[in-house]
Structure 1
């Protein structure tokens, strides 16, 4: 199963590892710092890279999309939430975490990313085996 490494940034301190879901998928969940509404960013590990597959949110606002602005993207309204479907290959995935925003990483299990305090983390795909 694909695994995700969680490390401090910029120091590179290894903090944890987590198994992605069966399809290589995982999600970052947090409370948006301006809108104070829940956001779910969905990703998948593909060929040793992180690919963002969706962004789910309640309302448009600072840092959140207003529409599908790249080829192949699609914005839909599902159960009162916006879902932007995409396939965006990512470089390093950096996450700034802080307790008030409830940052979580969900894959095969769920991990509270704020347990290491307010800081910047880097999520990296780990080699299988």
Structure 2
């Protein structure tokens, strides 16, 4: 599990060494690699909160991560996106683990982890 800039590091690691991963959870990644490498072997969950559309920088980050996710799917990988506001869970900042509803978000992530095991 990685957050923000750490998301790119986790994605790079999974692309290079998928044998060390059972799954990848990326919370609002600030970047994504251009090459998926061998990452299609590992299920991925991308988590997004509110306010992305209010920042051109975050719009570009989201586009880059969405392109990475699409490349994974095209290669046969398993990818899910948990867009919190689109799922009726509004009000999350860039750090959803610190928000009032953090337990609910954590339960959703945990449910995904349980499904991929």
TM-score normalised according to structure 2 size: 0.23
Say which one has the larger Rg: 1
- Structure number with higher strand proportion: 1
- Structure number with higher helix proportion: 2
TM-score normalised according to structure 1 size: 0.22
Greater relative contact order (Cα < 8 A, sep 6+): 1
